[in-house]
């Protein structure tokens, strides 16, 4: 269930001392605080598969970019989908139907391939170009701030998620808010570039589920406004909550405007 609440960011500097305050106007007691600028984080959607021999090379490039820019700036999601996520009609353990939905939406035909902030519409990037895309995107300031709070009940395996979207741009920002669950440190097989099979490959940033609609929820936010979206999610028995995170991003027709990642548990 989702709730949406609109508020305006106002900071009360404090009621003036009761002494000699009768002649102080309300406007002088309250002062608007400008939302701080926020640097751009970058979403990499890595369309991958366990039968894709070159996909580990793309993973290596992601790890290199994280080391260079930090894991709060480069936020990858490995979407197991497409032809390299099945063999003889059998899907791999990390494949999802929603992943195939995204794979087909972008008319992808090869792997590894990805999108960097969905730049330039549906054009996929080779993993060798992801670094250039990241370097381009981080030069811009984010038009919104995304702050995600997560509560998790270990007994029921249910997560409660609250996303606060804060408008930073001078103009109205409209798009779709997307909330995904990803999992790290999954021990499963992977075909390797030398043609061998690694039965204990460490899969990272794996897309597990879309918490909300697969295409997100419509959202508009003015400068200085806060929009709150709340969600509930029950974890699949196979998912390890200590390895899970919530990836939240706002996108529109021009691409991803901002993205954030928050651990499910600590």
Query: Which pLDDT tens digit goes with each residue over 19-62?
Result: 333 444 434 444 445 555 668 999 999 999 999 999 999 999 99
pLDDT value of position 88 = 85
Helices 55-69, 130-137: crossing angle, 10 deg rounding: 30
Tell the burial category of 49 from Cβ atoms under 10 Å away from its Cβ (0-12, 13-18, 19+). Answer: buried
pLDDT value of position 16 = 31
Q: What is the mean pLDDT of each run of 10 residues along the chain (266 residues)?
A: 40 34 44 61 97 97 97 97 92 97 91 88 78 93 96 96 97 97 98 97 98 98 97 97 98 95 93
Nearest to 46, CA basis, from 94, 83, 84, 79:
79
Residue 110 half-sphere exposure toward CB, CA atoms < 13 A: 8
Tell the burial category of 239 from Cβ atoms under 10 Å away from its Cβ (0-12, 13-18, 19+). Answer: middle
pLDDT value of position 37 = 62
DSSP class of residue 254? T
pLDDT value of position 82 = 94
> What length is written for the chain?
266
Residue ranges per domain, the chain? 4-9+39-263
Strands 255-263 and 244-252: antiparallel
CATH superfamily of 4-9+39-263: Immunoglobulins (2.60.40.10)
pLDDT value of position 15 = 32
Is there a contact between 11 and 31 (Cβ–Cβ < 8 Å)? yes
pLDDT value of position 14 = 39
pLDDT value of position 76 = 98
Tell the burial category of 78 from Cβ atoms under 10 Å away from its Cβ (0-12, 13-18, 19+). Answer: buried
Nearest to 75, CA basis, from 248, 255, 253:
248
pLDDT value of position 22 = 45
DSSP class of residue 54? T
């Amino acid at each position: 269930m989702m709730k949406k609440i609109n508020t305006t960011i106002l900071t009360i500097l404090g009621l003036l001392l009761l002494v000699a305050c009768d002649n102080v106007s309300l406007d002088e007691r309250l002062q608007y605080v400008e939302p701080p600028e926020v640097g751009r984080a970058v979403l990499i959607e890595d369309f991958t598969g366990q039968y894709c021999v070159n996909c580990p090379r793309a993973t290596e490039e992601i790890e290199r970019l994280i080391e260079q820019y930090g894991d709060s700036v480069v936020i990858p999601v490995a979407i197991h989908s497409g032809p390299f996520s099945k063999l003889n009609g059998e899907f791999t353990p990390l494949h999802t139907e929603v992943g195939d939905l995204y794979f087909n939406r972008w008319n992808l035909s090869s792997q590894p391939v990805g999108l960097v902030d969905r730049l330039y519409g549906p054009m996929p990037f080779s993993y060798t170009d992801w670094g250039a895309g990241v370097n381009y995107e981080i030069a811009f300031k984010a038009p919104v701030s995304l702050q995600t709070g997560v509560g998790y009940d270990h007994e029921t395996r249910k997560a409660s998620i609250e996303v606060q979207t804060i408008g930073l741009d001078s103009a109205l920002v409209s798009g779709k808010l997307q909330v995904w669950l990803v999992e790290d440190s999954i021990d499963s097989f992977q075909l390797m570039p030398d043609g061998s099979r690694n039965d204990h490959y460490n899969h990272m940033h794996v897309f597990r589920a879309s918490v909300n609609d697969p295409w997100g929820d419509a959202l508009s936010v003015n400068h200085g406004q806060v929009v709150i979206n709340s969600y509930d999610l029950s974890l699949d028995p196979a998912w390890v909550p200590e390895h899970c995170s919530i990836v939240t991003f706002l996108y529109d027709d021009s691409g991803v405007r901002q993205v954030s990642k928050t651990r499910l548990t600590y």
